[in-house]
């Protein structure tokens, strides 16, 4: 868990560096997951092989938590042929069916009905699998939130809806955009359990996810988990950040990685030497990913015409 | 093969039922979707009990369109049913930004064998929101195949091909066609995509028509025959993929082209086919092609007003005479 959290952070920091140093990487840059690592790692740790996820435009953390290879991710983000999607998807669309990643998605909320449908197929085929659907607080204000949760409830599907409430819809605070203080209360409207957890506490997230996954696998239907967290970076790479500095400082103090380190240290599972070792190994793996992407080939231009149709 | 007469809607329902029997991954999902199978569950003879492979949904177009997408990614072959094509637009992102693009975006990893089956079109006095033809919108989105059958025979064979195709297929029936009758073989058959059918042979002018417009074109051709004009009617049957070769061969023979489409004229398939022929077979044309399509105004309710903007038999006749300078 700890190593995964560090990997996510180091990966997105490296992405930021890449985009800063190479303007040819496109306008949008990346949507960094920095600060939200406990949600992805806590939830995905509750899954087993065969389970699936749908992810979002801010999805690097979910993918790494599902075991994605930083090398193939970095290559995809840089549009190289060695990337997960052969360079066709980029940062917001990474897919790996092998790892159970049905896809990050560039449209807010779009994964909600898709995850619901995947769970429908799991139930129809009696696969005993679970689909986790990650989405943000803004997606909870989309129409598909209502449609997807209602369908999942009436059909009792093995899906877990994980709302990462990172407090902002681009620049608009959740307090201005959302009718409720806790998005989890909306679960009542769909006759499913709703729970709000401290999204910067990986063990709390893990516990909530285990309960929801168990419920889904047991055939009792969906759960809505709201994980309250905060993105420590702007909405995406090239954007100004209008959030109050004191608010950012307050959330920095609740950094999920620091908090988990404290827990691990207190319980004797982590010491300075071990921490340094893991940090170094993570840094090496991310550097290897950067090098791999840099050295990888661009796609052949004729690739643009492939994969449209089966 | 022996044939019998059946309706367009019944022919499609048979295709779906046969394919469901053939492949257990074929499911039907949508609003009041037993209607796709021509089963009236409100009738007392049908018990209203859930069918394990028919997922009748609430009116949640974005929700169930997305659900079909997720189910397809997991290996099912959903037939996505909308009572009317326009309702699909409530789930527009899922229909146009997800289904046709996820295969490509994922570098070929996601398979999306989804058939969207719905009816649309004009001529039913439904007014603007319920009366129009959607194929040009979807034709502008790479990733869809688009089927526009004109007869029960074509409808059944093309639906079976659509279900087996492995790609997102938009199968558009026409309101005016659903109850029309025609001969359909008793046994199994399929019709390949991208194979136009010459519904009538002729030498003077090529009349390309799709969906319900084929019948109108045939009637116009009969009228023109009495005036000594020999019309060839080409029905592409699928507009994506488009059988350009058959259209080109016909134009090479006749030197004249009229295209009939009940979509609004701007960016219609009439426009697309006219442009394609002009671009690639300009030397064969003895006159500029003509498009007979819906006027570029929302479709009005009043019969007098709808008929005014409709691609009528009279307008087709006039267009043919005009390209022949008669």
Indicate which residues of B carry an active-site annotation.
Answer: 61, 130
pLDDT score recorded for residue A242: 86
Most A CBs within 10 Å: which of B107, B110, B143, B169, as the mutation test of the A interface? B107
Pick from A238, A254, A247, A143: nearest CA to A198: A254
Angle at A22 between CA A19 and CA A93, to 5 degrees: 45
Condensed to tens digits (0 to 9), the pLDDT of residues B136-171 reads 999 999 999 999 999 999 999 999 999 999 999 999
Cβ–Cβ gap B66/A118 under 8 Å? no
> Across the interface, which of A118, A147, A307 has its CB nearest the CB of B104?
A307
Q: Does A150 touch chain B (CB under 8 A)?
A: yes
> Residues B211-241: pLDDT tens digits?
999 999 999 999 999 999 999 999 999 999 9
CATH number for the domain whose boundaries are B197-323: 3.40.50.920
Contact A110 B98 (CB under 8 A): yes
pLDDT of B1 higher than 80 = no
Q: Which of B71, B105, B143 sits opposite A120 (nearest CB)?
A: B71
Among B58, B63, B142, B161, pick the best mutation site for testing chain A contact (most A Cβ within 10 A).
B63
Q: Report H helices in A22-105.
A: 37-44, 60-65, 70-77
Chain B contact set for A125 (CB, 8 A): 74-76
Q: How far does the CA of residue A173 sit from the closest CA of chain B (Å)?
A: 25
Calculate how close chain B gets to A50, using CA atoms only, in Å: 11
Task: Report CA torsion sign: A85, A90, A93, A94.
Answer: positive
CA distance B273 to chain A (A): 22
Give contacts of A147 with chain B, Cβ < 8 Å: 58, 60-64, 66
Give percent of chain B with pLDDT exceeding 90: 87
- Reported ipTM: the value is 0.91
Q: Which pLDDT score is estimated for B262?
A: 94
At residue A17, the pLDDT reads 83
The CATH code belonging to domain B3-185 is: 3.40.50.970
Residue B18, C-beta contacts closer than 8 angstroms, at least 6 positions apart? B160, B188
Cβ-based contacts of B106 with chain A (< 8 Å): 85, 88-89, 93, 95, 103
Mutation target vs B (from A102, A113, A191; most B CBs, 10 A cutoff): A113
pLDDT at B41: 54
Contact between A295 and A79 (Cβ < 8 Å) = no
| Cβ <8 Å between B73 and A114 | yes
- Show residues of chain B in contact with A100, CB under 8 Å: none
Partner residue opposite A151 with nearest CB, options B27, B52, B64? B64
Partners of residue B61 in chain A, C-beta under 8 Å: 147
User: A44 with A64: CB under 8 angstroms?
Assistant: no
Partners of residue B113 in chain A, C-beta under 8 Å: 310
Give per-residue pLDDT as tens, B17-66.
999 999 999 999 998 887 777 765 555 555 556 778 889 899 999 999 99
Give every CB contact of residue A308 below 8 A, 6+ residues apart in sequence. Answer: B103, B104, B142, B143
Residues on chain B touching A99 (C-beta within 8 angstroms): none
Residue of B nearest to A147 (CA): B63
Size of interface A-B (CB pairs under 8 A): 152
Percentage of chain B lying above the pLDDT 70 cut? 96
**What is the pLDDT at residue B223?**
97
pLDDT of A241: 84
Closest residue in A to B143 (Cα–Cα): A308
- Residue-level pLDDT at A249: 93
With contact defined as beta carbons under 8 Å apart, do B164 and B191 qualify? no
pLDDT band at B260 (very low <50, low <70, confident <90, very high): very high
Q: Where in chain B is the domain with CATH 3.40.50.970?
A: 3-185
A227 at B interface, C-beta within 8 A: no
Q: Does A82 touch chain B (CB under 8 A)?
A: no
At the topology level, CATH places domain A2-295 in Rossmann fold (3.40.50)
- Say if A139 is an interface residue toward chain B (CB within 8 Å): no
Dihedral sign for Cα A294, A297, A301, A302, please.
negative
3-state SS of B169-200? Answer: EEEEEECCCCCCEEEEECCCCCCCCCCCEEEE
**Residue partners of A268: CB distance under 8 A and separation at least 6:** none
- The ranges of chain A with pLDDT < 70 are 23-28
Domain borders along chain A are 2-295
Is the CB of A310 less than 8 angstroms away from the CB of B104? no
Cα dihedral B317, B319, B320, B322 sign:
positive
């Amino acid at each position: 868990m700890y190593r995964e959290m560090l990997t996510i952070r180091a990966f997105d920091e490296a992405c930021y560096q890449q985009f800063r140093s190479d303007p040819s990487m496109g306008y949008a840059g990346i949507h960094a997951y920095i600060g939200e690592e406990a949600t992805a790692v806590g939830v995905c740790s509750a899954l087993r092989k065969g389970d699936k996820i749908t992810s979002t435009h801010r999805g690097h953390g979910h993918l790494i938590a599902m075991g994605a290879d930083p090398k193939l991710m970095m290559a995809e983000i840089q549009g190289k042929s060695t990337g997960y999607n052969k360079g066709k998807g980029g940062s917001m669309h990474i897919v790996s069916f092998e790892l159970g990643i049905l896809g990050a998605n560039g449209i807010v909320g779009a994964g909600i009905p898709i995850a619901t449908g995947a769970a429908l197929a799991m139930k129809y085929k009696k696969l005993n699998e679970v689909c986790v659907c990650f989405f943000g607080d803004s997606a909870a204000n989309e129409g598909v939130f209502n449609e997807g949760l209602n369908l999942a409830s009436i059909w009792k599907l093995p899906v877990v809806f994980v709302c990462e409430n990172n407090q902002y819809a681009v620049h608009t605070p959740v307090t201005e955009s959302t009718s409720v203080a806790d998005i989890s209360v909306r679960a009542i409207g769909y006759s499913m359990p709703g729970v709000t957890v401290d999204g910067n506490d990986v063990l709390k997230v893990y516990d909530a996810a285990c309960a929801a996954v168990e419920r889904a696998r047991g055939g009792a239907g969906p759960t809505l988990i709201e994980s309250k967290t905060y993105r420590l970076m702007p909405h995406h790479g090239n954007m100004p950040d209008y959030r109050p500095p004191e608010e950012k400082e307050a959330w920095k103090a609740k950094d999920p990685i620091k908090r988990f380190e404290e827990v691990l240290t207190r319980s004797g599972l982590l010491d300075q030497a071990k921490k340094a070792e893991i940090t170094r190994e993570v840094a090496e793996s991310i550097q290897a990913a950067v090098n791999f992407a840099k050295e990888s080939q661009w796609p052949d231009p004729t690739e643009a015409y492939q994969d449209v149709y089966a | 093969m022996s044939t019998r007469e059946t309706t367009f809607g019944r022919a499609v329902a048979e295709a779906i039922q046969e394919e469901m029997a053939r492949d257990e991954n074929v499911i039907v999902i949508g609003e009041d979707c037993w209607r796709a199978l021509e089963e009236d569950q409100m009738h007392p003879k049908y018990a209203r009990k859930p069918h394990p492979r028919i997922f009748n949904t609430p009116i949640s177009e974005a929700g169930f369109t997305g659900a079909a997408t997720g189910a397809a990614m997991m290996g099912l072959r959903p037939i996505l049913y909308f009572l009317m094509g326009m309702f699909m637009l409530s789930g527009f992102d899922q229909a146009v930004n997800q289904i046709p693009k996820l295969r490509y975006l994922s570098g070929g990893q996601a398979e999306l064998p989804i058939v969207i089956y719905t009816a649309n079109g004009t001529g039913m006095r439904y007014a603007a929101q319920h009366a129009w033809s959607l194929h040009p919108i979807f034709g502008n989105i790479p990733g869809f195949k688009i089927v526009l059958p004109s007869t029960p025979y074509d409808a059944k064979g093309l639906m079976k091909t659509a279900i087996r195709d492995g790609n997102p297929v938009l199968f558009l029936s026409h309101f005016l066609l659903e109850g029309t009758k025609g001969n359909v073989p008793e046994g199994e058959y399929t019709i390949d995509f991208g194979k136009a059918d010459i519904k009538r042979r002729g030498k003077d002018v090529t009349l390309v028509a799709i969906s319900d417009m084929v019948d109108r074109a045939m009637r116009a051709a009969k009228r023109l025959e009495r005036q000594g004009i020999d019309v060839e009617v080409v029905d592409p049957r699928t507009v994506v993929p488009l059988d350009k070769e058959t259209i080109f061969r016909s134009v090479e023979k006749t030197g004249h082209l009229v295209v009939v489409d009940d979509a609004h004229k701007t960016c219609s398939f009439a426009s697309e086919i006219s442009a394609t022929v002009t671009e690639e077979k300009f030397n064969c044309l003895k006159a500029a092609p003509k498009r007979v399509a819906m006027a570029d105004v929302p479709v009005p309710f009043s019969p007098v007003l709808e008929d005014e903007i409709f691609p009528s038999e009279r307008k087709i006749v006039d267009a043919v005479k005009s390209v022949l300078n008669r």
